[in-house]
Amino acid sequence: MLKLKPKEIVYLLLYAIPNTVLSFGIVYIINNILAGNERFLKNYMGIVFVSIIVYSYLLNVIFQKKLNKFSFKLLYDNEKHIFSQILKAPLQRLEKLGSQRFFTAVEDLRTFSFLPYTVTHTVNSLLMLVLCLVYMFTLSTLSALIVIALIVLVAGCYFMVMKSMSKQVAQLRGYNENYYKFVDDVMKGFKELKLSFFRRESLMNNFLIPNRNQSMDLDFKINYIFLSINLISQYGLYFVVAVILFILPEMGLLSRADVISYVVIILFISGPINNIINLQQMYTRFMVANARIKKFINDFEIVDDTYNSNSKEKQDFQSLSFKDITFSYHNENEESASFTSGPINFDIQQGETIFIVGGNGSGKSTFINLLTGLYKPTGGSMLMNGEEKADVTEITQSLISAVFTDNHLFSHNYDDYQLENNEEYAALLKTMQLNGVVENDKEESARRRFSKGQSKRMSLIFALLEKKPVLVLDEWAADQDPHFRKYFYEQLIPKLKEEGKTIIAVTHDDAYFHLADRIVKFDYGKIVRDLKTTTKEELTENLWV
Ligand SMILES: Nc1ncnc2c1ncn2[C@@H]1O[C@H](COP(=O)(O)OP(=O)(O)OP(=O)(O)O)[C@@H](O)[C@H]1O
């Protein structure tokens, strides 16, 4: 993710080299004026000095602008990339990795907003350091070598400590990932938490507080080490100054006149050295964030198996078949499957209404996820209109609209229909008995908070507006009042059937089972009954025997 292209390196050098030469020019002039060098005590030197400062300032402004543009592009492009990766990920991957990965990835990306500042200061500081050291060499080779050795010693200690830090910075990120799980629990389980003092206390005392305390201790330790290292670098330089002032002249390695130059240079480069050292913690954070974003992108880097077609072409639907379809759930770190579905053999013809029934955990929703292409089967084949389809999602995207148990009403209209002045929408609001609830045909009126049952009805309206031939409903009627439930089974389904819809509905409402064309019963992930409905009594007899 963090890779510089040759063009960017050229830009960086085009800025950094002249800028450092100019900054060095400033030190060089100061040094020579302090040393009383005749050539520098000219009137025009003041103008040269100010010009260098102004020129260097302008160069920095221009470069900062470019670098800011580059890093913000990097930041925002990656935000978009992460979003599109999530949209491409299979449901199973998302269920396994958890939504908190998304939040920490965005947080990791934000670290890169410090990139322009860090890069500019590092490049300037490094080049400045090199030039000042070269200048020192022109004054006295041996002394320069001693000074370099001392700087290397201080830097060496620093880097050793730094190296051990990246593991701890990564560990800190891990704590934050868990923290987001607790945030998720609070947001989604707020009501359950409100109802139980014990649960709230347990969440706080046994989970959140230990997590935050461990995180705080580690965060403190990391920052304390960074701070200590910065102090080492600062005081280490005073130590170098002490060597220049008291030892090198005594040993006859440096003339008293050159001592001034050396000290001026050391004091001048102490800024860049401290910069380089301070900025190391930013690099450690960049490295960790970069590695984690890479991991995130890898974890979500899958061949996009979503059928990407915007084709409005009406699909001709006659039949859909499962041939020996199998699927398994695996718990983390477990070889054997925790639940296996199939082999499933199933057929549905155009215009049929099928109710999927069975006990809790019998595999109905898993079947719906396979049918809608959200789960990829581990074996078997799917046929549409008698023709085998390699890409299951091709079937689902073009044919099926669905309302899931945990339906969601989007905050905006992402579909290709408009609600305003849409007669079909107005008619559906009436059919769903929502015309008194939804005030008008404006988007805002459709995207507010509804009661659970109303929200399901809105989702069904949106599913019907997609005008796809197959409608899949997972326990849709479970949230409806008895009056509307009766209306749904006895009038709405027959009406949709009359309009040519093929309906597959998961249901527990055995009072209405007889109203389907067929009942498909699941148990332990397998179809154990596939019955044509006749009379209510006959069905009851056949279904439960
Ligand atoms: N994401 C998952 N990971 C692992 N196991 C799962 C997952 N989802 C469901 N299961 C397991 O698979 C089995 C079938 O679950 P499924 O949701 O398909 O049942 P269901 O028939 O729809 O039940 P219900 O009537 O309660 O909604 C259950 O044992 C369940 O615990």
Instruction: Give the model confidence (pLDDT) of 390-423 as tens digits.
Output: 776 766 777 899 999 989 999 889 988 999 999 9
Per the structure, the complete domain to which residue 355 belongs is given by 319-544
CA dist., res. 536 & res. 515, Å (int)? 8
Give the closest residue (by CA) to ligand 1 atom 1. Answer: 95
Of residues 374, 369, 389, 381, the one with CA closest to residue 315: 389
The per-residue pLDDT for 6 is 73
Check whether residue 223 and residue 347 sit in a common domain: no
Check whether residue 54 and residue 125 sit in a common domain: yes
Instruction: Tell me the CATH number at 11.
Output: 1.20.1560.10
Tell me: pLDDT of 265 over 90.
Answer: no
The phi and psi torsions of 352 (rounded to 5 degrees) equal: -75, 155
What mean pLDDT do residues 378-386 have?
88
| Between 204 and 29, residue with greater pLDDT | 204
- Report the sign of the C-alpha dihedral through residues 249, 251, 255, 258, in that order: negative
The per-residue pLDDT for 544 is 66
| Between 273 and 425, residue with greater pLDDT | 425
Ligand 1 pocket (Cβ < 6 Å) reads 95, 329, 338-339, 358, 360-366
| 3-class SS of residue 165 | helix
Pair 267, 241: CB distance under 8 Å: yes
Pair 20, 131: CB distance under 8 Å: yes
Spacing, Cα 380 to ligand 1 middle (Å): 20
Of residues 313, 351, 337, the one with CA closest to residue 496: 351
* Sequence-ordered list of residues with C-beta below 8 angstroms from that of 425, at least 6 positions apart, any chain: 417, 419, 441, 461, 465
CA 289 to chain centre: 12
CA distances from 357 to 114, 487, 506, 529 (A): 56, 20, 6, 9
Give the closest residue (by CA) to ligand 1 atom 3. Answer: 329
Supply 541's token pair. Answer: 């007899």
Tell me: pLDDT of 145 over 80.
Answer: yes
The per-residue pLDDT for 23 is 79
Q: β-strands 518-523, 353-358: how paired?
A: parallel
What mean pLDDT do residues 227-252 have?
81
Check whether residue 267 and residue 384 sit in a common domain: no
Residue 314 lies in a domain: no
Ligand 1 atom at minimal distance to the Cα of residue 525: 14
**Which contiguous run of DSSP H or E holds residue 505?**
strand 502-506
CA dist., res. 93 & res. 98, Å (int)? 8
Tell me: pLDDT of 324 over 60.
Answer: yes
First to last CA, the chain: 61
* Sequence-ordered list of residues with C-beta below 8 angstroms from that of 391, at least 6 positions apart, any chain: 305, 307
Last-in-domain residue among 299, 331, 352: 299
The per-residue pLDDT for 545 is 62
* Sequence-ordered list of residues with C-beta below 8 angstroms from that of 190, at least 6 positions apart, any chain: none
Per-residue pLDDT of 457-485, as tens digits, reads 999 999 999 999 999 999 999 999 999 99
Beta bridge partners of 532: 518
What mean pLDDT do residues 119-148 have?
80
CA dist., res. 54 & res. 48, Å (int)? 10
Check whether residue 220 and residue 249 sit in a common domain: yes
Last-in-domain residue among 299, 333, 357: 299
Beta bridge partners of 349: 319
Of residues 289, 42, 28, the one with CA closest to residue 166: 289
Determine the residue of 332, 362, 404, 405 to mutate for testing ligand 1's pocket, defined as the one with the most ligand atoms within 8 A of the Cβ atom: 362
Give the closest residue (by CA) to ligand 1 atom 17. Answer: 365
**Which contiguous run of DSSP H or E holds residue 279?**
helix 256-299
Supply 129's token pair. Answer: 């350091």
Spacing, Cα 334 to ligand 1 middle (Å): 17
Residue 284 lies in a domain: yes
Q: What percent of the chain has pLDDT over 90?
A: 30
Spacing, Cα 97 to ligand 1 middle (Å): 18
Give the closest residue (by CA) to ligand 1 atom 30. Answer: 361
Instruction: Tell me the CATH number at 387.
Output: 3.40.50.300
Per-residue pLDDT of 435-448, as tens digits, reads 889 989 999 899 88
Determine the residue of 92, 96, 325, 365 to mutate for testing ligand 1's pocket, defined as the one with the most ligand atoms within 8 A of the Cβ atom: 365
Per-residue pLDDT of 307-318, as tens digits, reads 555 555 566 788
Spacing, Cα 157 to ligand 1 middle (Å): 55
CA dist., res. 543 & res. 545, Å (int)? 6
How many structural domains does the chain have?
Answer: 2
Check whether residue 359 and residue 446 sit in a common domain: yes
Tell me: pLDDT of 64 over 60.
Answer: yes
Average pLDDT, the chain: 84
- What is the CB-side half-sphere exposure of residue 490 using CA atoms within 13 A? 7
Which residue is associated with the tokens 């000074």?
Answer: 147
Question: Letter for the amino acid at 5?
Answer: K
CA dist., res. 369 & res. 363, Å (int)? 10
Q: Kindly provide the b/e burial profile for residues 384-418, where b requires at least 16 CB atoms within 10 angstroms of the residue's own CB.
A: beeeebeebbbbbbbbbbbbbeebeeeeeeeeeee
CA angle 435, 440, 444 (to 5 degrees): 115
Check whether residue 470 and residue 524 sit in a common domain: yes
The per-residue pLDDT for 368 is 93
Q: What percent of the chain has pLDDT over 70?
A: 93
Q: β-strands 502-506, 400-403: how paired?
A: unpaired
Residue 28 lies in a domain: yes
For the chain, the maximum distance between any two Cα atoms, rounded to a whole number of angstroms, is 116
Residue 185 lies in a domain: yes
Residue 43's pLDDT band (boundaries 50, 70, 90)? confident
Pair 507, 516: CB distance under 8 Å: no
Determine the residue of 328, 338, 368, 504 to mutate for testing ligand 1's pocket, defined as the one with the most ligand atoms within 8 A of the Cβ atom: 338
CA 489 to chain centre: 42
Supply 98's token pair. Answer: 């958890």
Question: Letter for the amino acid at 378?
Answer: T
Ligand 1 atom at minimal distance to the Cα of residue 329: 4
What mean pLDDT do residues 305-330 have?
75
**Which contiguous run of DSSP H or E holds residue 326?**
strand 319-330
CA angle 527, 396, 352 (to 5 degrees): 55
Residue 478 lies in a domain: yes
Give the closest residue (by CA) to ligand 1 atom 26. Answer: 360
Instruction: Confirm whether the ipTM is greater than 0.95.
Output: yes
The per-residue pLDDT for 308 is 55
Peptide bond into 482 cis (omega under 30): no
Supply 275's token pair. Answer: 């910069």
CA distances from 511 to 119, 135, 485, 518 (A): 70, 94, 11, 15
Other C-beta atoms closer than 10 Å to the C-beta of 533 total 19
Per-residue pLDDT of 495-508, as tens digits, reads 999 999 999 999 99
Residue 313 lies in a domain: no
Give the closest residue (by CA) to ligand 1 atom 24. Answer: 360
Ramachandran bin of 472, using left for φ above 0, alpha for ψ from -120 to 50, beta for the remaining angles:
beta
Residue 309 lies in a domain: no
Check whether residue 291 and residue 339 sit in a common domain: no
CA dist., res. 37 & res. 35, Å (int)? 6
Check whether residue 279 and residue 170 sit in a common domain: yes
Check whether residue 269 and residue 326 sit in a common domain: no
Ligand 1 atom at minimal distance to the Cα of residue 506: 22
DSSP 209-227: HHHHHHHHHHHHHHHHHHH
Spacing, Cα 358 to ligand 1 middle (Å): 12
| Between 538 and 508, residue with greater pLDDT | 508
Check whether residue 277 and residue 325 sit in a common domain: no
Last-in-domain residue among 248, 267, 299: 299
Check whether residue 273 and residue 364 sit in a common domain: no
Check whether residue 161 and residue 266 sit in a common domain: yes
Pair 365, 339: CB distance under 8 Å: no
Give the closest residue (by CA) to ligand 1 atom 12. Answer: 339
Supply 146's token pair. Answer: 């001693």
* Sequence-ordered list of residues with C-beta below 8 angstroms from that of 1, at least 6 positions apart, any chain: 74, 78, 290, 293, 294, 297
